[in-house]
Amino acid sequence: MSEARTTALRGFGSGQDHRQSARGTARQASPLYTPEEQCRRDNTRWTLVQGLLAPFQFVVFLVSLVLVLRCLLTGDGAFAADLSVIAKTLTLYTIMVTGSIWEKVVFGKWLFAPAFFWEDVVSMLVIALHTAYLVMLLGKFGTVEGRLTVALAAYVTYVVNAAQFVLKLRAARLQARGAAA
């Protein structure tokens, strides 16, 4: 066995080497915001708009989720479930438009700024699924159950997307805390 391979294998299980390597990798990662972007983020009203719309959308989602599940499980309340999904979709469209404006102000791009590229990709899937639901409803395509199943798929994707943004917010806070230290 070559000396380099032996050394690599010896260090393979070493927790200390792994932690040092992970810390080194974390230090090399580019910050979420440049100082200029952070200043723009902190000074635009769109940050507040996003901060208010995100929890509002989550509440609309929770109410709608209950109504959709109730309809799917009991067969009752299809009209209420449909109204709730429409409300969730309109809220989603609103937060996407204002989020795009926010991204333009902070990063200079309407969408797919490197710092939020994957969040935007998943957001497009969330929008596509919500829009598919609306097309099914307005075009009278499929059954109530089929339409509400599409809504549930949209909601699962929304939860994944919301988790992405929560993790990104946490990363931004850690970055700010690290810069202050």
pLDDT (tens digit, 0 to 9) for every residue of the chain, 181 residues total? 444 343 333 343 444 444 444 444 444 467 788 889 989 999 999 999 999 999 999 999 999 999 999 999 999 999 999 999 999 999 999 999 999 999 999 999 999 999 899 999 999 999 999 999 999 999 999 999 999 999 999 999 999 999 998 998 888 788 777 777 7
What residues contact 63, with CB distance under 8 A and at least 6 apart? 84
At 63-109, the pLDDT tens digits run 999 999 999 999 999 999 999 999 999 999 999 999 999 999 999 99
Provide the pLDDT for residue 20. Answer: 43
Name the residue ranges covered by the structural domains of the chain.
Answer: 45-180
Cite the DSSP H helix spans in the chain.
3-12, 15-28, 35-43, 45-74, 78-107, 117-138, 144-180
Look at residue 17 in the predicted model and tell me its pLDDT. Answer: 43
Which pLDDT value is given to residue 13?
42
Burial code (b: 16+ CB inside 10 Å, e: under 16) for 2-27 equals eeeeeeeeeeeeeeeeeeeeeeeeee
Confidence (pLDDT) at 29: 62
pLDDT score of 168 = 87
